[in-house]
Structure 1
Amino acid sequence: MDVVGVGYPVQDMLVRIEQIPKARVHVLSKILSSSWQGGGMVSTGLAAASVLGARAGIIGVVGGDLYGKACINDFKMNGVDTSHLYVDEEGTTNYTIVLTETYTKERCFVANDGSKRNLKAEELDEAYISQAKYLLVTEMDEISIKAAIIARANGVKVVIDADLYEKRTMDNIELIDVFICSEEFYQGMFEDEDYIGHCREIQAMGPEVALVTLGDKGCRGVYKDTVIDQKAFTEIDVVDTNGAGDVFHGAFIYGMLQGWEPEYIARFASAVSAIKCTRQGGRAGIPDAETTRKFLETGVIDYTEIDKRVDIYKKGLF
């Protein structure tokens, strides 16, 4: 196993409309396209790593409902191992309705946490975690901290997809090897845009990689002694940015597994994320490694395999 993730699988209902309707305004907003896809930050990161060619596995819990079954089938379609994905037969699975406006690309989320139980500490299989090269988490809650301790004790590097600022993440920074955060997380810590300088401060706390993803402004940070200043690929036709950061994390892990130079890892991960954004949802537009390499070499996206995935998700055939 190359990467194991501790995460919270979600089922996403993705809807593209011209304009998100306002309350009490009787205007019919027609659905332009829709897609059922698996979601969740760690889950989508693992799917991206797997599509690119890494061996990935999920540790988590889903409900015994149709959404839970859909999450499992989605993982399997993307080649993610589900042997440690537990099913709470009496519980229901998290799901999210995501509305995206075509003109502004703004998104609106409506979420249901479901009633499934939480992952138990004893379900963190040390043998399963220790066989991996990387552990992917998205927060430093009790379960993730225990998983990180297991990983570090067995020489497994810990990667975090830090989204919204949480003090407990920084309180446990010594357990993190690869710290990649969103702009929102960064703004919870710092008031200026000295990304490189502040990432060096974070790096001094323990991580060998400290990086901030900045959407259409690219990503900046440090990878050991290398400064990362990767611009975004802005020449693409953006359809949906949902899951872009999650996919970036999976692609970044894939790049580290290949032993590439830091600048190329950041460029490759940015390209994978950009290509994903040309299709609806976090999963359908994930390219394989060859498609990404061709894009980096020519600037052209080959949609042959991508649109097969789009059609599967559109029809719900997974």
Structure 2
Amino acid sequence: MLCFTHVPPLPLFSTSGIYLPASRRFTSFRTRMSSSSVDSVPPPPDNAIVLGCGGIAVDFLATVDSYPQPDDKIRSTSLKVQGGGNAANALTCAARLGLNSRLISKVANDSQGKGMLEELDADGVDTSFLVVSKEGNSPFTYIIVDNQTKTRTCIHTPGDPPMLPTDLSQSSMFSALDRASIVYFDVRLHETALMIAKEASRKKIPILVDAEKKRDGLDELLQFADYVVCSTKFPQTWTEVSSTPGALVSMLLRLPKLKFVIVTLGEEGCLMVQRASTEVFESQEIDIESLLETLKHRNDSTTTFPTCVSSETTKLKANGVGTVTGRLFLGTAEKIPPDELVDTTGAGDAFIGAVLYAICAGMHPEKMLPFAAQVAGCSCRAMGARTGLPHRADPRLVPFLV
């Protein structure tokens, strides 16, 4: 069941420059578990296809009581071997939610590569566009999961030989893009990704970029992005703006094609700035830092389920940066009981997989952000990036989909 609750008044103007009624100044989205049956979940968007290009790997996940000191010798308390990689994880998530997922990447013709393809196929991810090298090694990652702090440390070994744009024929690229609803890049294979992005842009297919950190080719790919999902530190690092809200405004100003940008903040939830489709000339400028503080005070901190509060469309001002017309959203993360939190590996990929679904389903941000946070929360309850990824029929997702 979805419940929209209004909050106390704030001194914001409407798009016509008139004070808004108290009931319309802020909206909040709240989710409550209900007796809704799984049968009530609507079907996924018809023929929605997400094409992803990027990382794939085998993850070797070792759980330890606490992260070792230099020169320590310790024992793992558990070991799990599972497919990983940002793009592969996000597309697995999208496939379990009901989208048709296609992946462009590269593996070697070794046991690890074969295992990865089998795992993706079993989850319904189309692997027919993956390049399989006759020689070399598939990518793999050692992941140390600290049971004490619930953090993970990753040591990645790239595949060899690396993927080059010439590995993907033009006919394969055209086939992969055929009827695609959205294209997703994690910027791992930037040269190939840029080639695909140019063609997707020419075909007017929306593009989502995962801006986890500065990588080769990221700046070029961002110029094609309609949507960006960032890790916590990226906006400030990339823009050199001191505050996260100000950095999000800067990103929208620097990337004129961008419709929205989201920054994930771990257990603190996420922030999103959405560009308005039309200019609001009469609206007053609102300092985005002050607006964020107001949203925090309006947010219900008692609920354990993900929520979202948002501003009305206004002129969002960042000091020393500029002004963009749009809306600010504050999303919360699920409050997972300590005894249920197992591993945060791949939580960001799960969030992105859910955002891809939400875009294809036409979800409004007030619904999209809690939904993505819930999917990410589910993934943290099991070891590895994929074990805990929910299917769309999962009762925990029902209230977000009906």
Q: Same fold (TM over 0.5)?
A: yes
Q: How does 1:17-56 map to 2 (within 5 A)?
A: 17-26=64-73, 28-29=74-75, 31-56=76-101
Indicate the residue corresponding to 2:397 in structure 1: 293
Shift of 1:123: 2.9
Which has the greater radius of gyration? 2
Shift of 1:36: 1.4
| Structure with the higher fraction of residues in helix conformation | 1
Matching of residue 170 in structure 1 with residue 219 in structure 2: yes
Q: How does 1:212-251 map to 2 (within 5 A)?
A: 212-225=263-276, 226-236=327-337, 237-251=340-354
Q: 2:155 aligns with which of 99, 107, 110?
A: 110
Q: TM-score, normalised by structure 1?
A: 0.86
Distance (Å, rounded) in 2 between the aligned partners of 1:71 and 1:41: 13
Distance (Å, rounded) in 2 between the aligned partners of 1:44 and 1:240: 15
Indicate the residue corresponding to 2:190 in structure 1: 141
Q: How does 1:58-207 map to 2 (within 5 A)?
A: 58-121=103-166, 122-123=168-169, 125-139=173-187, 141-166=190-215, 168-189=217-238, 190-195=240-245, 197-204=246-253, 205=255, 206-207=257-258
Structure 1 residues 12 and 36: alpha-carbon distance in aligned structure 2, compared to 1, 3 A threshold:
same
Indicate the residue corresponding to 1:283 in structure 2: 386
Distance (Å, rounded) in 1 between the aligned partners of 2:386 and 2:397: 19
Shift of 1:98: 0.5
Shift of 1:207: 0.8
Distance (Å, rounded) in 2 between the aligned partners of 1:235 and 1:98: 22
Shift of 1:294: 3.8
C-alpha contact (below 8 Å) 1:11/1:36 kept by paired residues = yes
C-alpha contact (below 8 Å) 1:57/1:81 kept by paired residues = yes
C-alpha contact (below 8 Å) 1:200/1:221 kept by paired residues = no
Distance (Å, rounded) in 1 between the aligned partners of 2:398 and 2:216: 41
Alpha-carbon displacement from aligned partner over 1:66-91 (angstroms, at most 9, x marks no partner): 11011101111111001101110212
Q: TM-score, normalised by structure 2?
A: 0.69
User: What RMSD over aligned residues (CA atoms) do the two structures have, in Å?
Assistant: 2.0
**Which runs of no fewer than 5 residues in structure 2 stay unpaired?**
1-47, 277-326
Distance (Å, rounded) in 2 between the aligned partners of 1:21 and 1:194: 32
Shift of 1:99: 0.9
Distance (Å, rounded) in 2 between the aligned partners of 1:154 and 1:130: 10
Q: Size of the alignment, in residue pairs?
A: 294
Distance (Å, rounded) in 1 between the aligned partners of 2:335 and 2:243: 21
C-alpha contact (below 8 Å) 1:200/1:210 kept by paired residues = no
C-alpha contact (below 8 Å) 1:220/1:229 kept by paired residues = yes
Distance (Å, rounded) in 2 between the aligned partners of 1:34 and 1:88: 28
Q: 1:266 aligns with which of 369, 379, 397?
A: 369
> What secondary structure, in the 3-state scheme, does the structure 2 residue paired with 1:216 have?
helix
C-alpha contact (below 8 Å) 2:201/2:224 kept by paired residues = yes
Alpha-carbon displacement from aligned partner over 1:293-313 (angstroms, at most 9, x marks no partner): 24759xxxxxxxxxxxxxxxx
Shift of 1:159: 0.6
- By relative contact order (CA 8 Å, sep 6+), the higher-ranking structure is 2
Q: How does 1:304-315 map to 2 (within 5 A)?
A: none
Shift of 1:128: 1.8
> What secondary structure, in the 3-state scheme, does the structure 2 residue paired with 1:270 have?
helix
Matched letter for residue 66 of structure 2:
Q
- Between stretches 87-96 and 165-174, larger displacement belongs to 165-174
> What secondary structure, in the 3-state scheme, does the structure 1 residue paired with 2:393 have?
helix
C-alpha contact (below 8 Å) 1:130/1:154 kept by paired residues = no
Structure 1 residues 102 and 65: alpha-carbon distance in aligned structure 2, compared to 1, 3 A threshold:
same
Runs of 4 or more consecutive aligned structure 1 residues displaced over 4 Å after TM superposition: none
